[in-house]
Amino acid sequence: MFKRFRQNRIDEATRRRNRENILSISDFILPLFIVDGSNICEELDSMPEVFHLSVDQIEPYLKPLVDAGLETVLLFGVPSEKGIDQASDEKGIVQNAIRTIKQVFPDLGVICDVCICSFSEDGHCHVGDNDKTIEILAHIALSYAEAGADAVAPSDMMDGRVFFMRRVLNAAGFDTPIISYAAKFASGFYGPFRSAADCAPQEGDRKGYQMDFCNGNEALAEIWADVEEGAAGIIVKPALTYLDIVSRAKSELAGDYPIIAYNVSGEYMLLRSGVDQGIIADSVIYESLMSMKRAGANRIISYFVPWWIRNSGRFE
């Protein structure tokens, strides 16, 4: 007597009926890069099908995506001139973008990445001192909350930033959720993003604050700490080479907190170029996105959203 596993794979209808995980547009969060100026909707050299958008171009750009069911975006501000103060300016690009989106697409969820690396002269995510940095970050987060953000997502990896941000938000009367990049690794896979967001460190690297990719237990400790400090959800970043962390977070947090996998720029570009150059079939994109879901991600931040919308009919 042996088991007949193949009975459940015999044809497409049977496979569909037995599928454990399904991807849909609801799984995705799309990153957007907001720039100063007007009339800018410029495809990036470093990332095809990813754009720099001025605030006035958000509506035409997003309309077809929202019509296709997109539920959430993640905003990054890319100012034309450096200066950390702009990041918390109520008339800053991100704040303007939030208000515009909320006006045109009231049901679209808006998460704002909170970090200073695109705003700071030296391209680092801190000002030299951990505790001074978390004060700045908390005030940036507050200005995003005041502009109407649905959630703020600190991506700096300073210690205590969730604790401090929660306190500042609460004191101002905002219960805006903090979705923390709790386990963010010092990864080589951020390369294309750094030119998109103009945030490459001028000197040195981010290894003094982002996590050592040799460590898994430490990632779980970071995740627990952020949850205890008040995070409403956590992000694991990058995604593909860190699915072990997604899976461990899923089981250790017992499903109590949403886990989001960030399918970062380098992952996007590797698959994208492989497919665009005809090296590999584009079904590997679906396969990779599904691996994040299967590992336990509740949502996936990905530049593949437009690709998914164009191709999901073949996979759904």
Q: Tell me 178's DSSP state.
A: B
> Which lies closer to ligand PBG via its Cβ, residue 105 or residue 193?
193
Q: Respond yes or no: is residue 184 known to be catalytic.
A: yes
Least distance (Å) between residue 1 CB and ligand PBG: 50
Angle value at C-alpha 241, between 234 and 275, nearest 5 degrees = 115
What residues line the site for ligand PBG (CB under 6 A)?
113, 115, 117, 125, 155, 190, 193-194, 199, 206, 264-265
Q: How far is the CB of 162 from ligand PBG (least distance, A)?
A: 15
Give the 3-state secondary structure of residue 83.
Answer: coil
DSSP states of 131-176 as a string? HHHHHHHHHHHHHHHHHT-SEEEE-S--TTHHHHHHHHHHHTT--P
Helical axes 161-171 vs 130-147, angle rounded to 10°: 40
230: alpha, beta or left? (left if phi > 0; alpha if psi -120 to 50): left
Cβ contact 180:154 at 8 Å = yes
CB of 20 or CB of 203, closer to ligand PBG: 203
Considering beta carbons, is residue 76 or 163 the nearer one to ligand PBG?
76
Smallest separation (angstroms) from ligand PBG to the CB of 235 = 9
Please check whether residue 92 is in contact with residue 86, taking contact to mean a CB–CB distance below 8 angstroms: yes
In angstroms, the first-to-last Cα distance of the chain is 35
Q: Identify the active-site residue in 63, 132, 237, 293.
A: 237
CB of 190 to ligand PBG, least distance (A): 4
- Residue (211 or 249) nearer to ligand PBG, CB: 211
User: Which of the following is catalytic: 3, 91, 102, 184?
Assistant: 184
Q: Which residue is nearest to ligand PBG (CB)?
A: 193
3-state helix, strand, coil in the chain (%, to 5): 45, 15, 35
> Measured between alpha carbons, how far is 44 from 64 in angstroms, rounded to an integer?
20
The residues that bridge with 302 in the sheet, in sequence order, are 263
Nearer of residues 206 and 248 to ligand PBG, judged by Cβ: 206
What's 207's DSSP letter? T
Q: How far apart are CB 305 and ligand PBG at their closest, in Å?
A: 13
Task: Catalogue the active-site residues.
Answer: 184, 237
